[in-house]
Amino acid sequence: MNKEKIKEFNNDYLRENKPNFIIVFVIIFLLIGLINTTPPNNFSEGKLITIEKGETIKNTAELLKRENIIRSELLFNIVITLTKSNVVEGKYLFHSKENIFKVADRVKRGSYQIPTEKITFVEGETSYQIADKLKKAFPNFDVDTFYELALINEGYLFPDTYEFRLTVSAEEVTKKMIDNFDRQISNISDEIENSSRTLDEIIKMASIIEGEADSYSRQEVADILWKRIDEDMPLQVDATFVYSIGKSTFDLTLNDLRNEDNPYNSYVFRGLPPTPINNPGIKAIRSAARQNDTPYLFFLTGRDGNMYYASTFEAHKNNRRLYLD
């Protein structure tokens, strides 16, 4: 066979078998694409990834590639873009290997997959007590930052049962508790607006009620304390000492009661304390928002746990002899 015949034969063969090359090319392309959808061999199982607020799809793809979560930045960009989505900020935990479609779906929906923990704060707990609970429940919790935030919002961290991710930040906890406070308060907004007191005054009083009264005596204690304020009498309650110096009724000394350096000393200073002394629940807040006429000016909690009222100081002193001494 001469050269001309061989060349003609090869050309004919290539023309006839050209589709085979296309098929091979498509197969190779698909295989490469398929491989890029699978997790990397060195996938970071158990890795915690943080997508910052305002992060772009491109930067997120770079982060996931760098942390061995995905193989292809380009494919990740295409998947997210084609779904007309964006990435959701937050911390993501990757327990085990996931393909690129699963990873993309999670970050566009904010599926963090971080375990959560329920925690309950009861009525009348202080920022110290709340911070202590958070530290025990979440070992890596930034308790110092939380306390700084909580202290300036004392009284407005609504006591309730919450469910937080194990990676929850101090800012997230504070915001969630304050947001809950706002929602709860909206349910009694009419009572607050009809009160002659400001919300700040009501919350301060409600915190005292939590420290001084039980579930059966909230309203009576509120009525007595508002009456004292209206008559320009010192409140003379011991709960403010628990907050300021950590002493209860049975531990207070005469020096404590006479101390003029303690702004929370309600025996020396008239009016409400500088800040709420704990975080009250809705029942105490509702009691503080109301004010009824009362014949009483004094009350005390006896060693038996019962509440005793008196209209005069002499009757109050008698109650002290009977139920405290």
Domain end: 163, 185, 207, which one?
185
Are residues 60 and 147 located together in one domain of the fold? no
Which among 236, 240, 149, 156 is positioned nearest to 202, based on CA atoms?
A: 156
Buried b (16+ CB within 10 A) or exposed e, 17-41: eeeeeeeeeeeeeeeeeeebbebbe
Ramachandran sector of residue 271 (left: φ over 0; alpha: ψ -120 to 50; beta: rest): left
Q: In this structure, is residue 14 part of a structural domain?
A: no
Q: In this structure, is residue 85 part of a structural domain?
A: yes
Q: Tokens 């947001």 correspond to what residue?
A: 179
d(CA 83, CA 103): 13
| 51 three-class SS | strand
Are residues 97 and 176 located together in one domain of the fold? no
Are residues 97 and 130 located together in one domain of the fold? no
Give the CATH number for residue 92: 3.30.1490.480
Q: In this structure, is residue 210 part of a structural domain?
A: yes
Q: In this structure, is residue 130 part of a structural domain?
A: yes
| 135 three-class SS | helix
Comparing 132 with 238, the larger pLDDT belongs to: 132
The per-residue pLDDT for range 269-321, each reduced to its tens digit, is 899 999 999 999 999 999 999 988 999 999 888 888 888 999 998 999 999 99
Are residues 206 and 268 located together in one domain of the fold? yes
Are residues 224 and 279 located together in one domain of the fold? yes
Q: In this structure, is residue 249 part of a structural domain?
A: yes
pLDDT at 38: 84
Does the predicted model carry a pTM greater than 0.95? no
Which among 172, 179, 112 is positioned nearest to 142, based on CA atoms?
A: 172
The per-residue pLDDT for range 17-36, each reduced to its tens digit, is 555 545 544 444 444 555 66
Cα distance from N-terminal residue to C-terminal residue, the chain: 128
| Residue range 101-116: mean pLDDT, rounded | 91
Percent of the chain predicted with pLDDT > 90? 56
Are residues 137 and 70 located together in one domain of the fold? no
Are residues 79 and 120 located together in one domain of the fold? no
pLDDT at 19: 52
Range scoring the smallest mean pLDDT among 55-59, 162-166, 177-181, 237-241: 237-241
pLDDT at 29: 45
Domain end: 153, 185, 217, which one?
185
Range of the domain at 208: 197-294
Comparing 39 with 256, the larger pLDDT belongs to: 39
Range scoring the smallest mean pLDDT among 27-31, 67-71, 138-142, 248-252: 27-31
Are residues 82 and 55 located together in one domain of the fold? yes
Are residues 70 and 121 located together in one domain of the fold? no
Which among 168, 175, 44 is positioned nearest to 114, based on CA atoms?
A: 168
> What's the whole-number average pLDDT of the chain?
86
Instruction: Report the 10 Å Cβ neighbour count for 134.
Output: 23
Q: In this structure, is residue 11 part of a structural domain?
A: no
The per-residue pLDDT for range 188-211, each reduced to its tens digit, is 999 999 999 999 999 999 999 999
Domain end: 144, 160, 185, which one?
185
Q: How many domains does the chain have?
A: 3
Are residues 253 and 176 located together in one domain of the fold? no
Q: In this structure, is residue 312 part of a structural domain?
A: no
For residue 236, is pLDDT > 60?
yes
Q: In this structure, is residue 301 part of a structural domain?
A: no
Are residues 134 and 206 located together in one domain of the fold? no
Percent of the chain predicted with pLDDT > 70? 84
